[in-house]
């Protein structure tokens, strides 16, 4: 009967609406190079992100045996211990201790021209906290490290302020040009 159709359509519509809310995947990317550098020092993840898809792109040319990089996310207090454990694990294990619960997320080890991606849930992160990401290849951590901030409204405000440095509307009593003019007089 035709009467059944609207009900089915309604159920399907509800199911479709419900799906995106379960997986709000936020994508971030980091580049690493032959000079042992990440191009990011700070990654900000909004609290609305249920999952993070992080892509590490090695933009250099050196092979993984010579200049391999990875991206490892841990609590700040765990950095040194995980780095040592990673060194002991060796390159065959991406310089990461196997099954170590202190590692929140980690990518594979990649060489020049390679890209790797890791997807992780933010369920293990606490809003307002900062975490450390680093490369666990021996000798790289001191240079290759940064901060990941999860869902802090105050840091988001800072990010907005930094990205919109154009003068605020309405309050144009002292535009920047007169300073230069004043130097000439």
Residues that bind Cu ion (CB under 5 A): 69, 135, 137, 140, 144
DSSP 38-68: BS-SEEEE-TT-SEEEEEEEE-S-S-HHHH-
Minimum distance between the CB of residue 135 and Cu ion, rounded to whole angstroms? 3
Minimum distance between the CB of residue 33 and Cu ion, rounded to whole angstroms? 10
* Residue nearest to Cu ion according to CB distances in the complex: 135
Minimum distance between the CB of residue 11 and Cu ion, rounded to whole angstroms? 50
Q: Of 97 and 151, which CB lies nearer to Cu ion in the complex structure?
A: 97
Minimum distance between the CB of residue 45 and Cu ion, rounded to whole angstroms? 22
Task: Please give the Cα distance from 94 to 69 (Å, whole number).
Answer: 9
Size of the chain, expressed as the number of residues it contains: 185
Q: Of 26 and 147, which CB lies nearer to Cu ion in the complex structure?
A: 147
Q: Of 52 and 135, which CB lies nearer to Cu ion in the complex structure?
A: 135
Q: Judge whether 49 and 122 are in contact, CB under 8 Å.
A: yes
The two three-digit tokens of residue 128, written as one number = 């307002």
Task: Please give the Cα distance from 25 to 48 (Å, whole number).
Answer: 9
Q: Of 30 and 49, which CB lies nearer to Cu ion in the complex structure?
A: 30
């Amino acid at each position: 009967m035709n009467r059944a159709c609207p009900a089915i359509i309604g159920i399907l519509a509800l199911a479709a609406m419900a799906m995106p809310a379960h997986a709000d995947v936020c994508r971030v990317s980091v580049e690493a190079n032959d000079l042992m550098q990440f191009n990011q020092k700070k990654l900000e993840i909004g609290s609305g992100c249920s999952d993070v898809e992080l892509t590490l792109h090695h933009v250099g040319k050196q092979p993984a045996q010579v200049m391999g990089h990875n991206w490892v996310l841990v609590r700040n207090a765990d950095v040194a211990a995980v780095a040592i454990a990673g060194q002991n694990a060796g390159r065959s294990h991406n310089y990461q201790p196997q099954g170590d619960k202190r590692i929140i997320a980690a990518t594979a080890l990649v060489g020049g021209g390679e890209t790797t991606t890791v997807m992780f849930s933010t369920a293990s992160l606490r809003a307002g906290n900062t975490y450390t990401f680093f490369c666990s290849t021996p000798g790289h951590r001191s240079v290759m490290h940064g901060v990941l901030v999860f869902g802090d409204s105050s840091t988001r405000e800072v990010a907005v302020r930094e990205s919109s440095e154009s003068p605020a509307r309405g309050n144009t009593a002292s535009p920047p040009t007169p300073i230069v003019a004043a130097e000439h007089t």
